[in-house]
Chain A
Amino acid sequence: MNRIEIDKLTKFYGERQVLDQIDLSVSAHEVVCLIGASGSGKSTLLRCINGLTEFDEGSVRIDGVDIYDPSFGRTGLYKKVGIVFQAYNLFPTMSVLQNITLAPIKVHGRPRAEAEAAAMKLLGLFGLEQYAKSYPEQLSGGQQQRVAIVRSLATEPEVVLLDEVTAALDPELIGEVLKIIRDLKATGMTMVIVTHEMAFARDVADRVCFLDNGRIIEQGEPRRLFSNPENPRTQKFLQRIIESGRLEAKV
Chain B
Amino acid sequence: MTRRPGKGRRRIALKDRLAPVLVSLVSVVVVFGAVAYFVGSSPQWPRIQLQFFSLEAMLEAAPGVAKGFLVSLQIWLISLVCIGVWALVLAIFRAMGGPWFAPLRVFAIVYVDLFRGLPALLLVLLFGFGIPALNLPGLPKEGLFWGGIALVLSYSAYATEVYRSGIEAVHEGQSMAAKALGLTRWQTLRYAILPQALRNVVPAMLNLVVALQKDVALLSVLGVRDAVREAQIYTARTFNYSSLVVAAILFLLATIPLARLTDHLQRRDRQRRLQGAL
Q: Which A positions have Cβ atoms within 8 angstroms of B?
A: 50, 52, 74-75, 78-79, 82-83, 85, 87, 89-95, 102-103, 106-108, 133-135, 137-138, 151-152, 155
Q: Is the CB of A102 within 8 A of B278?
A: no
Residues 173-195 (chain B) with a chain A CB within 8 angstroms: 173-174, 176-184, 187, 191-192, 195
* B11: interface (CB < 8 Å): no
| Cβ-closest chain A residue relative to B272 | A135
**Interchain CB contact (< 8 A) of A133 among B181, B196, B277:** B277
Interchain CA distance A125-B97 in the complex, whole Å: 38
**Interchain CB contact (< 8 A) of B174 among A75, A78, A82, A89:** A89
Chain A neighbourhood of B199, CB < 8 A? 93
Q: Is the CB of A155 within 8 A of B192?
A: no
Interchain CA distance A242-B182 in the complex, whole Å: 40
Q: Is the CB of A133 within 8 A of B276?
A: yes
Q: Is the CB of A75 within 8 A of B182?
A: yes
| Cβ-closest chain B residue relative to A75 | B182
Interchain CA distance A74-B173 in the complex, whole Å: 21
| Cβ-closest chain B residue relative to A134 | B276
Interchain CA distance A72-B199 in the complex, whole Å: 36
Q: Known contacts A91-B191, A138-B278; is A103 also within 8 Å of B174 by CB?
A: no
Chain A neighbourhood of B276, CB < 8 A? 95, 133-135, 138
* B274: interface (CB < 8 Å): yes
Shortest 4 CB-CB distances between A and B: which pairs?
A78-B182, A89-B177, A133-B277, A93-B195
Interchain CA distance A106-B189 in the complex, whole Å: 13
A/B interface sample: 26 pairs, CB < 8 A = A50-B180, A52-B176, A52-B179, A74-B182, A78-B180, A85-B176, A85-B177, A87-B173, A91-B174, A91-B177, A92-B196, A93-B195, A93-B199, A95-B277, A102-B181, A103-B181, A103-B183, A107-B181, A133-B277, A133-B278, A135-B273, A135-B276, A137-B273, A138-B278, A151-B181, A155-B181
Shortest CB distance A49–B (Å)? 11
Please report the total number of B residues contacting A with Cβ < 8 Å: 23
**Interchain CB contact (< 8 A) of B182 among A108, A137, A138:** A108
Shortest CB distance B67–A (Å)? 42
Shortest CB distance B75–A (Å)? 33
Q: Is the CB of A107 within 8 A of B182?
A: yes
Interchain CA distance A233-B179 in the complex, whole Å: 36
Chain A neighbourhood of B182, CB < 8 A? 74-75, 78-79, 103, 107-108, 155
User: Which among B176, B195, B276, B278 has the greatest number of chain A C-beta atoms within 10 A?
Assistant: B276
Q: Is the CB of B273 within 8 A of A106?
A: no
| Cβ-closest chain B residue relative to A53 | B176
Interchain CA distance A160-B174 in the complex, whole Å: 18
Q: Is the CB of B274 within 8 A of A138?
A: yes
Q: Is the CB of A134 within 8 A of B278?
A: yes
Chain B neighbourhood of A102, CB < 8 A? 181, 183, 191
Chain B neighbourhood of A106, CB < 8 A? 183, 187, 191
Shortest CB distance B269–A (Å)? 10
**Interchain CB contact (< 8 A) of A107 among B174, B183, B277, B278:** B183
Chain B neighbourhood of A133, CB < 8 A? 276-278
Chain B neighbourhood of A85, CB < 8 A? 173, 176-177
Q: Is the CB of B196 within 8 A of A93?
A: yes
Q: Is the CB of B180 within 8 A of A52?
A: yes
Q: Is the CB of A107 within 8 A of B187?
A: yes
Interchain CA distance A52-B274 in the complex, whole Å: 33
| Cβ-closest chain B residue relative to A161 | B180
| Cβ-closest chain A residue relative to B274 | A138
